[in-house]
Amino acid sequence: MSQLDKIQPFYVMELLRRAKALEAEGADVVHMEIGEPDFPTPAEVVSAGIESIRGGEVKYTPAAGLPDLRAAIARFYADRYGVHLPARRIFVTPGASGAFTLILAGLLERGDEVLLSDPGYPCYPNFVRLFGGEPRLVPVGAASNFQFDARLLSRHWAPTTRGVVMASPSNPTGTLASGASLREIAGLLDERDAFWLSDEIYHGLVYGERAHSALEFSDRAFVVNSFSKYFGMTGWRLGWAIVPDDFVDAAERLAQNLFISAPTHSQMAALAAFSPANLDELEGRRREFAVRRDFLLHELSGLGFDIPVRPEGAFYVYADCSRWSDDSFELAWRLLEDAHVAVTPGRDFGSHEARRHLRFAYTASVDRLAEGIARMRHWLYSQK
Protein backbone atom coordinates (compact mmCIF):
# COMPACT_ATOMS: atom_id res chain seq x y z
CA MET A 1 0.00 0.00 0.00
CA SER A 2 1.40 3.41 -0.96
CA GLN A 3 1.48 6.36 1.44
CA LEU A 4 -1.21 8.02 -0.69
CA ASP A 5 -3.52 5.04 -0.19
CA LYS A 6 -3.33 5.62 3.58
CA ILE A 7 -4.58 9.21 3.38
CA GLN A 8 -8.09 9.41 4.81
CA PRO A 9 -10.87 11.66 3.43
CA PHE A 10 -12.10 14.78 5.19
CA TYR A 11 -15.79 13.89 5.54
CA VAL A 12 -16.96 17.42 6.30
CA MET A 13 -15.92 18.44 2.79
CA GLU A 14 -18.50 16.01 1.41
CA LEU A 15 -21.13 17.62 3.63
CA LEU A 16 -20.04 21.05 2.44
CA ARG A 17 -20.24 19.94 -1.19
CA ARG A 18 -23.80 18.71 -0.65
CA ALA A 19 -24.72 21.91 1.23
CA LYS A 20 -23.48 23.98 -1.69
CA ALA A 21 -25.49 21.84 -4.09
CA LEU A 22 -28.63 22.40 -2.01
CA GLU A 23 -27.97 26.13 -2.05
CA ALA A 24 -27.56 26.04 -5.83
CA GLU A 25 -31.03 24.49 -5.95
CA GLY A 26 -32.41 27.41 -3.95
CA ALA A 27 -32.25 26.04 -0.39
CA ASP A 28 -31.19 28.19 2.55
CA VAL A 29 -28.55 26.27 4.55
CA VAL A 30 -27.36 27.28 8.02
CA HIS A 31 -23.62 26.56 8.09
CA MET A 32 -22.16 25.30 11.37
CA GLU A 33 -19.79 22.77 9.79
CA ILE A 34 -16.71 24.63 8.56
CA GLY A 35 -14.06 26.13 10.83
CA GLU A 36 -13.69 29.41 8.97
CA PRO A 37 -14.46 32.79 10.54
CA ASP A 38 -17.38 34.54 8.84
CA PHE A 39 -15.82 37.96 9.40
CA PRO A 40 -14.02 39.40 6.36
CA THR A 41 -10.31 40.07 6.44
CA PRO A 42 -9.86 43.41 8.24
CA ALA A 43 -9.79 46.41 5.91
CA GLU A 44 -6.33 47.55 6.99
CA VAL A 45 -4.88 44.16 6.06
CA VAL A 46 -6.72 44.07 2.71
CA SER A 47 -5.44 47.55 1.85
CA ALA A 48 -1.86 46.57 2.62
CA GLY A 49 -2.16 43.53 0.36
CA ILE A 50 -3.68 45.51 -2.51
CA GLU A 51 -1.07 48.24 -2.24
CA SER A 52 1.72 45.68 -2.38
CA ILE A 53 0.29 44.23 -5.60
CA ARG A 54 -0.22 47.65 -7.15
CA GLY A 55 3.32 48.59 -6.22
CA GLY A 56 4.74 45.50 -7.90
CA GLU A 57 5.70 43.74 -4.64
CA VAL A 58 4.98 40.29 -6.06
CA LYS A 59 8.37 38.69 -6.51
CA TYR A 60 9.70 35.83 -4.38
CA THR A 61 10.68 36.64 -0.84
CA PRO A 62 13.42 34.80 1.07
CA ALA A 63 12.34 31.20 1.65
CA ALA A 64 11.92 31.77 5.39
CA GLY A 65 9.73 34.82 4.81
CA LEU A 66 10.01 38.60 4.78
CA PRO A 67 12.51 39.68 7.45
CA ASP A 68 10.14 42.43 8.65
CA LEU A 69 7.29 39.93 9.06
CA ARG A 70 9.46 37.44 10.95
CA ALA A 71 10.56 40.28 13.25
CA ALA A 72 6.92 41.33 13.76
CA ILE A 73 5.96 37.78 14.74
CA ALA A 74 8.88 37.68 17.19
CA ARG A 75 7.66 40.93 18.81
CA PHE A 76 4.16 39.47 19.01
CA TYR A 77 5.47 36.53 21.07
CA ALA A 78 7.38 38.86 23.36
CA ASP A 79 4.31 41.03 23.94
CA ARG A 80 1.74 38.25 24.26
CA TYR A 81 3.67 35.42 25.94
CA GLY A 82 6.81 37.02 27.34
CA VAL A 83 8.83 34.71 25.07
CA HIS A 84 11.81 36.32 23.36
CA LEU A 85 12.66 34.62 20.09
CA PRO A 86 15.34 35.35 17.52
CA ALA A 87 13.59 35.92 14.20
CA ARG A 88 15.78 33.26 12.55
CA ARG A 89 13.70 30.58 14.32
CA ILE A 90 10.50 31.79 12.63
CA PHE A 91 9.54 30.50 9.17
CA VAL A 92 6.63 31.98 7.27
CA THR A 93 4.77 29.24 5.39
CA PRO A 94 1.85 28.74 2.97
CA GLY A 95 -0.74 28.28 5.70
CA ALA A 96 -0.44 26.24 8.86
CA SER A 97 -0.50 23.13 6.67
CA GLY A 98 2.76 24.34 5.13
CA ALA A 99 4.22 24.68 8.61
CA PHE A 100 3.26 21.09 9.46
CA THR A 101 4.81 19.92 6.20
CA LEU A 102 8.03 21.79 6.89
CA ILE A 103 8.39 20.43 10.42
CA LEU A 104 7.33 16.81 9.93
CA ALA A 105 9.37 16.45 6.74
CA GLY A 106 12.44 17.21 8.80
CA LEU A 107 11.54 15.17 11.87
CA LEU A 108 10.07 11.84 10.77
CA GLU A 109 11.66 8.68 9.53
CA ARG A 110 9.77 5.62 8.36
CA GLY A 111 8.12 3.79 11.26
CA ASP A 112 8.34 6.65 13.76
CA GLU A 113 5.24 6.65 15.95
CA VAL A 114 3.54 9.94 16.77
CA LEU A 115 0.94 10.28 19.55
CA LEU A 116 -2.21 12.17 18.57
CA SER A 117 -5.36 12.84 20.54
CA ASP A 118 -8.65 11.17 19.60
CA PRO A 119 -10.74 13.24 18.96
CA GLY A 120 -8.41 15.59 17.12
CA TYR A 121 -7.87 17.47 13.88
CA PRO A 122 -8.32 14.95 11.04
CA CYS A 123 -5.33 16.07 8.97
CA TYR A 124 -2.78 15.27 11.69
CA PRO A 125 -2.67 11.49 10.99
CA ASN A 126 -2.41 12.18 7.26
CA PHE A 127 0.51 14.56 7.74
CA VAL A 128 2.29 11.88 9.77
CA ARG A 129 1.57 9.13 7.22
CA LEU A 130 2.75 11.30 4.34
CA PHE A 131 6.29 11.28 5.75
CA GLY A 132 6.35 7.57 6.63
CA GLY A 133 5.36 7.94 10.27
CA GLU A 134 2.75 5.93 12.15
CA PRO A 135 -0.02 7.93 13.85
CA ARG A 136 -1.20 6.46 17.14
CA LEU A 137 -4.54 7.82 18.30
CA VAL A 138 -4.86 8.15 22.07
CA PRO A 139 -8.44 8.42 23.41
CA VAL A 140 -9.10 11.60 25.40
CA GLY A 141 -12.31 12.55 27.13
CA ALA A 142 -13.93 14.87 29.61
CA ALA A 143 -11.79 13.57 32.48
CA SER A 144 -8.67 15.08 30.89
CA ASN A 145 -10.49 18.07 29.40
CA PHE A 146 -10.13 16.36 26.00
CA GLN A 147 -6.42 17.15 26.24
CA PHE A 148 -3.20 15.24 26.74
CA ASP A 149 -1.47 15.29 30.10
CA ALA A 150 1.88 13.79 31.09
CA ARG A 151 0.30 10.81 32.84
CA LEU A 152 -1.78 9.89 29.79
CA LEU A 153 1.17 10.22 27.45
CA SER A 154 3.31 8.02 29.70
CA ARG A 155 0.69 5.27 29.67
CA HIS A 156 0.61 5.19 25.88
CA TRP A 157 4.34 5.58 25.24
CA ALA A 158 6.00 2.85 23.18
CA PRO A 159 9.61 2.09 22.16
CA THR A 160 8.89 3.47 18.68
CA THR A 161 7.26 6.70 19.90
CA ARG A 162 9.12 9.66 18.44
CA GLY A 163 6.98 12.58 19.52
CA VAL A 164 3.62 14.22 20.18
CA VAL A 165 1.33 16.55 18.24
CA MET A 166 -1.26 18.41 20.29
CA ALA A 167 -3.44 21.51 20.06
CA SER A 168 -4.62 23.94 22.70
CA PRO A 169 -7.26 25.27 22.04
CA SER A 170 -8.20 22.10 20.26
CA ASN A 171 -10.28 21.20 17.27
CA PRO A 172 -12.98 19.85 17.65
CA THR A 173 -13.51 20.44 21.37
CA GLY A 174 -12.31 24.00 21.94
CA THR A 175 -10.66 22.99 25.23
CA LEU A 176 -7.42 24.30 26.69
CA ALA A 177 -4.47 22.58 28.34
CA SER A 178 -3.45 24.30 31.56
CA GLY A 179 -0.06 25.85 32.03
CA ALA A 180 0.75 23.32 34.75
CA SER A 181 -0.11 20.44 32.42
CA LEU A 182 1.99 21.87 29.59
CA ARG A 183 4.94 22.25 31.96
CA GLU A 184 4.69 18.57 32.92
CA ILE A 185 4.43 17.54 29.27
CA ALA A 186 7.53 19.58 28.45
CA GLY A 187 9.45 17.78 31.20
CA LEU A 188 8.30 14.35 30.05
CA LEU A 189 9.23 14.94 26.41
CA ASP A 190 12.57 16.43 27.38
CA GLU A 191 13.38 13.34 29.47
CA ARG A 192 12.52 11.07 26.55
CA ASP A 193 14.28 13.19 23.93
CA ALA A 194 11.02 13.33 21.97
CA PHE A 195 9.67 16.14 19.83
CA TRP A 196 6.71 18.31 20.80
CA LEU A 197 4.70 19.88 18.00
CA SER A 198 2.19 22.36 19.40
CA ASP A 199 -0.62 23.52 17.11
CA GLU A 200 -1.55 26.99 18.32
CA ILE A 201 -3.63 28.27 15.41
CA TYR A 202 -6.60 29.10 17.66
CA HIS A 203 -4.53 31.24 20.01
CA GLY A 204 -6.15 34.64 20.36
CA LEU A 205 -9.61 33.07 20.22
CA VAL A 206 -9.92 32.31 23.93
CA TYR A 207 -12.69 33.43 26.26
CA GLY A 208 -11.50 32.82 29.79
CA GLU A 209 -8.01 31.99 30.96
CA ARG A 210 -5.34 32.74 28.39
CA ALA A 211 -3.83 30.05 26.20
CA HIS A 212 -0.21 29.21 26.96
CA SER A 213 2.33 28.66 24.21
CA ALA A 214 4.53 25.58 24.40
CA LEU A 215 7.45 28.00 23.99
CA GLU A 216 6.82 29.27 27.51
CA PHE A 217 7.92 25.86 28.79
CA SER A 218 10.41 24.54 26.24
CA ASP A 219 12.96 25.96 23.79
CA ARG A 220 12.82 22.62 22.01
CA ALA A 221 9.13 22.81 21.13
CA PHE A 222 7.98 23.20 17.55
CA VAL A 223 5.06 25.60 17.20
CA VAL A 224 2.61 26.03 14.34
CA ASN A 225 0.42 29.09 14.05
CA SER A 226 -1.52 30.85 11.33
CA PHE A 227 -3.02 34.11 10.14
CA SER A 228 -6.23 32.23 9.28
CA LYS A 229 -8.27 32.05 12.48
CA TYR A 230 -7.67 34.93 14.91
CA PHE A 231 -6.38 37.23 12.17
CA GLY A 232 -9.20 36.37 9.74
CA MET A 233 -6.99 35.65 6.71
CA THR A 234 -8.00 32.11 5.71
CA GLY A 235 -7.80 32.50 1.94
CA TRP A 236 -4.52 34.37 2.05
CA ARG A 237 -2.85 31.04 2.95
CA LEU A 238 -0.27 32.24 5.42
CA GLY A 239 1.06 30.59 8.55
CA TRP A 240 4.28 30.22 10.44
CA ALA A 241 6.48 27.63 12.10
CA ILE A 242 8.75 28.25 15.06
CA VAL A 243 11.57 25.73 15.34
CA PRO A 244 14.44 25.08 17.76
CA ASP A 245 17.86 26.54 17.00
CA ASP A 246 19.30 23.22 15.88
CA PHE A 247 16.51 22.80 13.29
CA VAL A 248 16.91 26.20 11.61
CA ASP A 249 19.31 25.03 8.89
CA ALA A 250 17.14 22.03 7.99
CA ALA A 251 14.02 24.20 7.92
CA GLU A 252 15.73 26.69 5.62
CA ARG A 253 16.71 23.98 3.14
CA LEU A 254 13.26 22.39 3.27
CA ALA A 255 11.49 25.73 2.76
CA GLN A 256 13.66 26.49 -0.27
CA ASN A 257 12.73 23.19 -1.86
CA LEU A 258 9.12 22.74 -0.76
CA PHE A 259 7.71 26.26 -1.19
CA ILE A 260 10.30 28.65 -2.64
CA SER A 261 8.40 31.14 -0.45
CA ALA A 262 4.97 31.91 0.95
CA PRO A 263 2.75 34.25 -1.12
CA THR A 264 4.40 37.65 -1.22
CA HIS A 265 1.25 39.79 -1.25
CA SER A 266 -0.07 37.80 1.73
CA GLN A 267 3.11 38.48 3.67
CA MET A 268 2.92 42.19 2.88
CA ALA A 269 -0.71 42.22 4.01
CA ALA A 270 0.15 40.38 7.22
CA LEU A 271 2.55 43.13 8.24
CA ALA A 272 -0.53 45.25 8.88
CA ALA A 273 -2.15 42.56 11.03
CA PHE A 274 -0.06 43.54 14.06
CA SER A 275 -0.99 47.25 14.09
CA PRO A 276 -2.69 48.42 17.30
CA ALA A 277 -5.85 49.40 15.39
CA ASN A 278 -6.11 46.01 13.72
CA LEU A 279 -5.52 44.14 16.97
CA ASP A 280 -8.31 46.23 18.56
CA GLU A 281 -10.65 45.14 15.75
CA LEU A 282 -9.67 41.51 16.25
CA GLU A 283 -10.39 41.77 19.96
CA GLY A 284 -13.89 43.01 19.14
CA ARG A 285 -14.40 39.95 16.97
CA ARG A 286 -13.14 37.72 19.77
CA ARG A 287 -15.77 39.17 22.10
CA GLU A 288 -18.46 38.48 19.51
CA PHE A 289 -17.30 34.85 19.26
CA ALA A 290 -17.67 34.60 23.05
CA VAL A 291 -21.29 35.80 22.78
CA ARG A 292 -21.98 33.20 20.11
CA ARG A 293 -20.38 30.45 22.17
CA ASP A 294 -22.51 31.24 25.19
CA PHE A 295 -25.65 31.35 23.05
CA LEU A 296 -24.93 28.02 21.38
CA LEU A 297 -23.98 26.28 24.64
CA HIS A 298 -27.27 27.34 26.21
CA GLU A 299 -29.40 26.38 23.23
CA LEU A 300 -27.75 23.01 22.55
CA SER A 301 -28.06 22.05 26.20
CA GLY A 302 -31.73 22.99 26.02
CA LEU A 303 -32.14 20.62 23.08
CA GLY A 304 -30.73 17.74 25.11
CA PHE A 305 -27.17 17.69 23.83
CA ASP A 306 -24.61 16.87 26.52
CA ILE A 307 -21.54 19.13 26.69
CA PRO A 308 -19.45 17.85 29.60
CA VAL A 309 -16.56 20.31 29.18
CA ARG A 310 -17.11 24.00 28.53
CA PRO A 311 -15.07 25.07 25.46
CA GLU A 312 -12.74 27.93 26.32
CA GLY A 313 -11.28 28.63 22.89
CA ALA A 314 -11.50 28.26 19.10
CA PHE A 315 -15.08 28.42 17.78
CA TYR A 316 -16.44 24.92 18.28
CA VAL A 317 -18.82 23.06 20.55
CA TYR A 318 -18.33 19.28 20.63
CA ALA A 319 -21.64 17.87 21.76
CA ASP A 320 -22.84 14.39 22.69
CA CYS A 321 -25.89 13.72 20.52
CA SER A 322 -26.67 10.22 21.82
CA ARG A 323 -30.06 11.36 23.16
CA TRP A 324 -31.10 11.75 19.54
CA SER A 325 -29.06 9.16 17.65
CA ASP A 326 -26.44 6.44 18.07
CA ASP A 327 -24.93 7.40 14.71
CA SER A 328 -23.81 11.02 14.45
CA PHE A 329 -22.75 10.56 10.81
CA GLU A 330 -26.27 9.62 9.79
CA LEU A 331 -27.71 12.35 12.01
CA ALA A 332 -25.49 14.99 10.38
CA TRP A 333 -26.65 13.97 6.91
CA ARG A 334 -30.30 13.94 7.90
CA LEU A 335 -30.05 17.37 9.51
CA LEU A 336 -28.56 18.65 6.28
CA GLU A 337 -31.04 17.01 3.92
CA ASP A 338 -34.20 17.51 6.00
CA ALA A 339 -33.54 20.64 8.07
CA HIS A 340 -30.87 22.32 5.92
CA VAL A 341 -28.53 22.64 8.91
CA ALA A 342 -24.92 21.68 8.25
CA VAL A 343 -22.86 20.28 11.17
CA THR A 344 -19.82 17.98 11.34
CA PRO A 345 -20.02 14.35 12.51
CA GLY A 346 -17.60 13.00 15.08
CA ARG A 347 -16.09 10.44 12.69
CA ASP A 348 -14.08 13.25 11.07
CA PHE A 349 -12.08 13.59 14.29
CA GLY A 350 -11.20 9.99 15.13
CA SER A 351 -12.93 6.91 16.45
CA HIS A 352 -13.21 7.43 20.22
CA GLU A 353 -16.95 7.83 20.87
CA ALA A 354 -17.19 9.43 17.43
CA ARG A 355 -20.68 8.06 16.80
CA ARG A 356 -21.94 9.95 19.87
CA HIS A 357 -20.70 13.41 18.89
CA LEU A 358 -21.32 16.31 16.54
CA ARG A 359 -19.18 19.42 16.17
CA PHE A 360 -20.97 22.75 15.89
CA ALA A 361 -18.96 25.74 14.62
CA TYR A 362 -20.18 29.15 15.77
CA THR A 363 -18.74 30.85 12.70
CA ALA A 364 -22.09 32.46 11.89
CA SER A 365 -24.04 35.33 13.42
CA VAL A 366 -26.25 34.78 16.45
CA ASP A 367 -29.28 35.29 14.20
CA ARG A 368 -28.14 32.48 11.89
CA LEU A 369 -27.28 30.24 14.84
CA ALA A 370 -30.77 30.88 16.24
CA GLU A 371 -32.29 29.92 12.90
CA GLY A 372 -30.26 26.70 12.90
CA ILE A 373 -31.36 25.87 16.44
CA ALA A 374 -35.02 26.50 15.56
CA ARG A 375 -34.80 24.19 12.55
CA MET A 376 -33.07 21.50 14.58
CA ARG A 377 -35.64 21.75 17.36
CA HIS A 378 -38.51 21.37 14.90
CA TRP A 379 -36.89 18.46 13.08
CA LEU A 380 -35.65 16.58 16.17
CA TYR A 381 -38.98 16.70 17.95
CA SER A 382 -40.82 15.73 14.79
CA GLN A 383 -38.86 12.46 14.85
CA LYS A 384 -40.24 11.43 18.24
pLDDT, tens digit, 9 for 90 and up, residues 6-51: 666 677 888 899 999 999 999 999 999 988 899 999 999 999 999 9
How deeply is 158 buried, as exposed, middle or buried, from its count of CB atoms within 10 A (0-12, 13-18, 19+)? Answer: exposed
**Side chain identity, residue 227:** F
**Side chain identity, residue 107:** L
Average pLDDT, the chain: 96
pLDDT of residue 50: 97
**What CATH architecture applies to the domain 4-40+277-379?**
Alpha-Beta Complex (3.90)
Domain 45-273: which CATH number of 3.60.20.10, 3.90.1150.10, 3.40.50.12780, 3.40.640.10 = 3.40.640.10
pLDDT, tens digit, 9 for 90 and up, residues 188-214: 999 999 999 999 999 999 999 899 999
369, 292 contact by CB (below 8 A)? yes
pLDDT, tens digit, 9 for 90 and up, residues 299-344: 999 999 999 999 999 999 999 999 999 999 999 999 999 999 999 9
Q: Where are the beta strands (DSSP E) in the chain?
A: 30-31, 90-93, 113-118, 134-139, 161-167, 195-199, 222-226, 239-242, 316-320, 341-342, 344-345, 357-361
- Outline which parts of the chain fall under CATH 3.90.1150.10: 4-40+277-379
Look at phi and psi of residue 304 and say left if phi exceeds 0, alpha if psi is from -120 to 50, else beta.
Answer: left
3-state secondary structure of 22: helix
pLDDT of residue 10: 72
pLDDT, tens digit, 9 for 90 and up, residues 262-298: 999 999 999 999 999 999 999 999 999 999 999 999 9
pLDDT of residue 28: 97
pLDDT of residue 271: 98
- The whole-angstrom separation of Cα 59 and Cα 198 is 31
**pLDDT exceeds cutoff 70 at 82:** yes
pLDDT of residue 7: 67
Helices and strands (H and E) in the chain: how many = 12, 12
pLDDT of residue 13: 85
Band of the pLDDT at 1, cuts 50, 70, 90? low
Residue 255 CB neighbour total at 10 angstroms: 24
pLDDT of residue 5: 67
pLDDT, tens digit, 9 for 90 and up, residues 102-125: 999 999 999 999 999 999 999 999
Looking at the chain, the whole-number percentage of residues with pLDDT higher than 90 is 94
pLDDT, tens digit, 9 for 90 and up, residues 213-242: 999 999 999 999 999 999 999 999 999 999
pTM: 0.95
- Outline which parts of the chain fall under CATH 3.40.640.10: 45-273
